[in-house]
Amino acid sequence: MEHENIAVGLDIGTTKIVAMIGKTNEYGKIEMLGMGKAKSLGVHRGVVNNITQTIQSIQQAVEEAESVSGQKIKDVVVGIAGQHIRSLHHSDYITRPNSEKVIDESDIEKLINQVHKLVMLPGEEIIHVLPQDYKVDGQGEIKEPIGMYGGRLEANFHVVVGQVSSIRNIGRCIKSAGLELANITLEPLASADAVLSQEEKEAGVALIDIGGGTTDLAIFKDGIIRHTAVIPFGGNVITEDIKEGCSIIEKQAELLKTKFGSAWPGENKENEIVSIPGLRGREPKEITLKNLSKIIHARVVEIVEQAYLEIKNYGHEETKKKLIAGIVLTGGGAELKHIKQLVEYITGMDTRIGYPNEHISGSSDIDMSSPSFATAVGLLMKGLNQKSKDTQKQTASETEKATKEFQTSSKDIGDKKSIFEKWADKFREFLDNAE
C-alpha cells in the first residue's frame, strides 16, 4: 500500500468478514480495487468469542482482497458492535487562557480529550466522543465555533462506550493476523456514512442496520448524531427459528430464508410448497411457503419493534414529526422480501432500503451495491477520510516549514542587502573625497 490515498475497511461481522480495498478518484468517489470475503466462525452477536477462528477468517478475507487488488494490506479500519455497546450524553467545558485569540481546532481537541478522560464503569472504555452543539460564553446553538472569540467553550457530547475486553480482543485478532489497527469505529456510524445522504441527516432519519448477529441503530437530526443503540439479535435468529420450526439443518434454513423467505405472510398461498432433500436416504421434507413466512414474520416483527422502541425512547411520541426522512434499512436483513412494507406498517414511518452505491465510482468492477456491504463501505470511507486529513496536515506542516525557511532566507538577503548598501555609501564617500 504505497499510495497514501488507499485505505482498507475490515468488517468483522457475525456471519461474514469482509476486507475492502479502495482509493479516492479525482471526482471524490471511491474506486474499489479489491474485496475479500470469508465465513465468520469466531464471532457471536458482534463479539469475538473464538480468537483463533477469527484470525483465520480475517487472514482469508485479507489474502483474497490482496490477490484481487494486487495491493499489500498493512493497516485497516475496523468496525465494532455487540450488545456491550451503550451510549450516553455528557456536557463539558474548557476555559481558554486567551479570549483575544479566536477558537481553533486545538481548543476543540482539548475539549474532546477532556471528555475522553471521563471515568467509566469498571471494564468500560470510551470509543467515540461526538460533539453535538457548542456554547461560546453562554451563547448556545453553535454548530461550528472555529473562528469565534470567547473565553469559555462548552459542548454537549454523544459518548459511545464499550467493553475494554471486547475492544482488546478485536485488536488482538488484527495484530495476530499481521495487520495494524488504523482506527476503530462504531458500525452503525460507518453504515450511516455509506447509505445516508446529508439531506436525510439534516431532516432527521433513523438508520436500522440488520446484520447477522446484531441490529444497529443510529438516529440523526440537523446533521448531527443524536442516538445510537445495538440490539443483540439479527438475521441469524430468523435462520435459527426456521431451523427449529421446520426441523431442518442450518444451511438449508439459510437458503430457504434468502431464496423463498418473506416478511409478509399474506403474500404466499397455502398451496405453495418447497421440497427440501432429506438427510442421507431419508424422505424429502415438504414445507409450505405460508408457514415459512409466518416463522420469519414473527421474528422480524420482534426485531423491528425493539428498534422502534429505541427510536421512541429518543423522541417520545413526537418521533414521526421529528424524523422527516423516516427510516432507512440496511445490512443483510434489509434484503428480505417485503421487509420495507412491514417496517412501514409497524412504525407508520416512511421507509427505504439503503444501498451503499452512491459513493462508489461507476468504474468499479466489484459489485458493492448490496446492503450487506454497507458497513464495509462505510469503514473504507472512514479510512480514506483519515488518510486525506493526514495528507492535508502533512502538506500544511511542510508549507509552514517552507514558509519559515523562506522568511529566514529573505531576512538573510535583507541583511546582505543592507551591508551592500553600506559598502556602496562608503564607496560614494571615497569618490567624493577623491574629487
| Domain residue extents for the chain | 1-84+162-197+358-435, 86-161, 198-353
Which amino acid would we find at residue 193?
Answer: D
The average confidence (pLDDT) of the chain is: 86
Which H helix or E strand runs over 412? helix 374-434
Nearest CA to 21 among 88, 74, 86, 83? 74
Residue 406 CB contacts under 8 Å (≥ 6 apart), including other chains: none
DSSP E strands, 335-390: 351-353
pLDDT band at 421 (very low <50, low <70, confident <90, very high): low
Nearest CA to 162 among 80, 106, 42, 53? 80
Question: Which CATH architecture fits 86-161?
Answer: 2-Layer Sandwich (3.30)
| Cα–Cα distance measured from residue 282 to residue 277, given in angstroms and rounded to the nearest whole number | 8
Cell reading at 70: 494486487
Residue in the block written with cell 446553538: 141
Per-residue pLDDT tens digits for 104-161 = 999 999 999 999 999 898 999 999 999 999 999 999 889 899 999 999 999 999 999 9
Nearest CA to 233 among 310, 185, 302? 302
The pLDDT, as a whole number, for residue 110 is 94
Per-residue pLDDT tens digits for 342-377 = 999 999 999 999 998 877 777 665 667 789 999 999
Q: Is 47 exposed, middle or buried (0-12, 13-18, 19+ CB in 10 A)?
A: buried
Q: Could you give the residue ranges of the DSSP H alpha helices within 90-234? A: 105-116, 164-176, 187-195, 198-203
Q: Could you give the residue ranges of the DSSP H alpha helices within 228-373? A: 235-246, 250-260, 289-315, 319-322, 339-347
The pLDDT, as a whole number, for residue 314 is 79
Q: Which of 61-75, 265-279, 307-321 has the lowest mean pLDDT?
A: 307-321
Q: CA distances (Å), 317 to each of 43, 188, 310, 340, 351, in order?
A: 36, 23, 12, 22, 18
| Cα–Cα distance measured from residue 329 to residue 343, given in angstroms and rounded to the nearest whole number | 9
Per-residue pLDDT tens digits for 180-228 = 999 999 999 999 999 999 999 999 999 999 999 899 999 999 898 989 9
Q: What is the pTM of this model?
A: 0.85
Residue 430 has pLDDT above 60, yes or no: no
Residue 318 has pLDDT above 80, yes or no: no
The pLDDT, as a whole number, for residue 32 is 87
| Cα–Cα distance measured from residue 8 to residue 79, given in angstroms and rounded to the nearest whole number | 12
Instruction: Mention the CATH class of domain 1-84+162-197+358-435.
Output: alpha beta
Contact 386, 7 (CB under 8 A): yes
Which residues are bridge partners to 128 per DSSP?
Answer: 160
Give 398-404's long-range contacts (Cβ < 8 A, gap of 24+): none
Give the CATH number of domain 198-353.
3.30.420.40
Q: Which of 159-163, 174-178, 396-400 has the lowest mean pLDDT?
A: 396-400
DSSP E strands, 27-179: 30-39, 43-44, 47-48, 75-80, 86-95, 124-136, 139-142, 152-163
Indicate left, alpha or beta for 338 from its phi (over 0: left) and psi (-120 to 50: alpha): left
What three-state secondary structure class fits 120?
A: coil
Contact 276, 287 (CB under 8 A): yes
Residue in the block written with cell 485569540: 101
Which H helix or E strand runs over 393? helix 374-434
DSSP class of residue 20?
A: E
pLDDT band at 409 (very low <50, low <70, confident <90, very high): low
The pLDDT, as a whole number, for residue 401 is 73
Does 415 or 233 have the greater pLDDT score?
Answer: 233
Topology alike, domains 1-84+162-197+358-435 and 86-161 = no
Per-residue pLDDT tens digits for 269-286 = 777 888 888 778 788 888
The pLDDT, as a whole number, for residue 367 is 67
Q: CA distances (Å), 337 to each of 261, 267, 345, in order?
A: 7, 10, 14
Q: CA distances (Å), 38 to each of 61, 76, 191, 335, in order?
A: 5, 16, 20, 20
Percent of the chain with pLDDT over 70: 89
| Cα–Cα distance measured from residue 233 to residue 301, given in angstroms and rounded to the nearest whole number | 12
Cell reading at 99: 479570549
Per-residue pLDDT tens digits for 372-395 = 999 999 999 999 988 887 777 777
Contact 230, 83 (CB under 8 A): yes
The pLDDT, as a whole number, for residue 2 is 46
Residue 5 has pLDDT above 80, yes or no: no
Cell reading at 123: 471494564
Does 416 or 335 have the greater pLDDT score?
Answer: 335
Residue 397 has pLDDT above 80, yes or no: no
